[in-house]
Amino acid sequence: MGNNILDFDTVCLSKDGEGIEIIDQTKLPGEITFLTLRTDEEIWRAINILQVRGAPAIGVTAALAMYVLSLKMPKGSYEEFRKEFTREKEYLDSSRPTAVNLSWALNKMDAVVKANEGMAPDDLIPLLKEEALRIYREDIEVCHAIGENGLTLVKKGDGILTHCNAGKLCAVQYGTATAPIYLGQEKGYGFHVFCDETRPLLQGARLTAFELQSAGVDTTVICDNMSAMVMKKGWVNAIFTGCDRVAANGDTANKIGTSVVAAVAKLYGVPMYICAPTSTIDMNTPTGDQIVIEERDPDEVTEMWYKQRMAPENVKVFNPAFDVTDASLIAAIVTEKGIAYPPYTESLKKIMEQE
């Protein structure tokens, strides 16, 4: 294997067609390791411990997973196959709660099974493969279109701040929030990008800074508590982040700390742009209050990354993985179908109604 992650898909079907190949993101940036996931437990764990992560990449993984797992499902009858399919779907759906792309992709795959009621499993499996590969290919096209739309919001030489990793590593290619940056890079825009390190799992420092630097983008890592300073200094012209779920009113769940960035951006007059494939927009969730926020292991805050524990034993820890940015703090939501502006209840509805 080569050693530039930009040359590889973050997630794809393995060469033998019976597994899912991913770049193990828990090992980056120190080691570029590829894993082939074959069993439901391997796939569940890879999503849960963030070997594969980021809303779109989780969705593509889930779609490919349902195809790969279907190869080993009982093939005696449609009913038997469907029962096992539903069990695996529900199992994978429990791996992480916040990113809607997981259930979105699982439901798309499930729809293929439901739409072909009574079909022999051997005939259904190729249809599942087709759908999984469609979701995979669509992810690449969608991210590219988000990049083109996002690029219209910035100009040459701009400073851009991003939080977490909504980069190539959160999708198959391009990423969402980094798509305008990569397209701009190709066109000589000369952006300089500030990457919040993103405590506690450091997706900004470990992943975003790594991939942007590999692509030759002028990249600076800052601790999360430094974003106000760089904004006050006037070094940031726009903020681009990704998201895990956009509610119908524009409230947006993304990596913990995003709402702090948005509040500070409002204070300093920096536009906060959320990059969202329409698969991340959940019109069934009316506002951010209904979004389930994942809480993770306290050790991620107190011990991980440190040589020795950095908080007293047994101290209480609150470790939510995401927060919700109020729609009022968001200047625009950039999708593959166009840019939604406030009021989001209307603009998102229009975008979702488009073909």
Mind telling me the catalytic residues? 244
- 172 neighbors 57 (Cβ within 8 angstroms): yes
Stretch that binds ligand MRU, among 64-72, 120-128, 242-250, 282-290 (CB under 6 A): 242-250
> Dihedrals φ, ψ of 340, to 5°?
-95, 130
Smallest separation (angstroms) from ligand MRU to the CB of 326: 17
Question: What element of type H or E holds 347?
Answer: helix 344-353
Find the angle CA(221)-CA(341)-CA(242) to the nearest 5 degrees.
30
Smallest separation (angstroms) from ligand MRU to the CB of 316: 22
Residue 257 touches ligand MRU, criterion: CB under 6 A: no
Stretch that binds ligand MRU, among 76-84, 105-113, 241-249, 259-267 (CB under 6 A): 241-249
Residue 54 touches ligand MRU, criterion: CB under 6 A: yes
Q: Pick the binder of ligand MRU from 23, 100, 124, 243 (CB under 6 A).
A: 243
- 326 neighbors 141 (Cβ within 8 angstroms): no
Q: How many residues bind ligand MRU (CB under 6 A)?
A: 18
Residue 179 touches ligand MRU, criterion: CB under 6 A: no
> What is the rounded distance in angstroms from the CA atom of residue 49 to the CA atom of residue 34?
15
Please give the DSSP secondary-structure letter assigned to residue 279.
G
Looking at residues 98 to 127 of the shown chain, list those that interact with ligand MRU (rule: CB under 6 A): 99
> What is the rounded distance in angstroms from the CA atom of residue 26 to the CA atom of residue 47?
11
Q: Which is nearer to ligand MRU, 237 or 241 (CB)?
A: 241
Q: Pick the binder of ligand MRU from 56, 97, 184, 200 (CB under 6 A).
A: 56
> What is the rounded distance in angstroms from the CA atom of residue 165 to the CA atom of residue 78?
41
Q: Pick the binder of ligand MRU from 51, 219, 254, 325 (CB under 6 A).
A: 254
Looking at residues 268 to 327 of the shown chain, list those that interact with ligand MRU (rule: CB under 6 A): 321
- 181 neighbors 193 (Cβ within 8 angstroms): yes
> What is the rounded distance in angstroms from the CA atom of residue 105 to the CA atom of residue 111?
10
| Contact residues: ligand MRU, CB under 6 A | 50, 53-56, 99, 164, 166, 170, 176, 203, 241-244, 254-255, 321
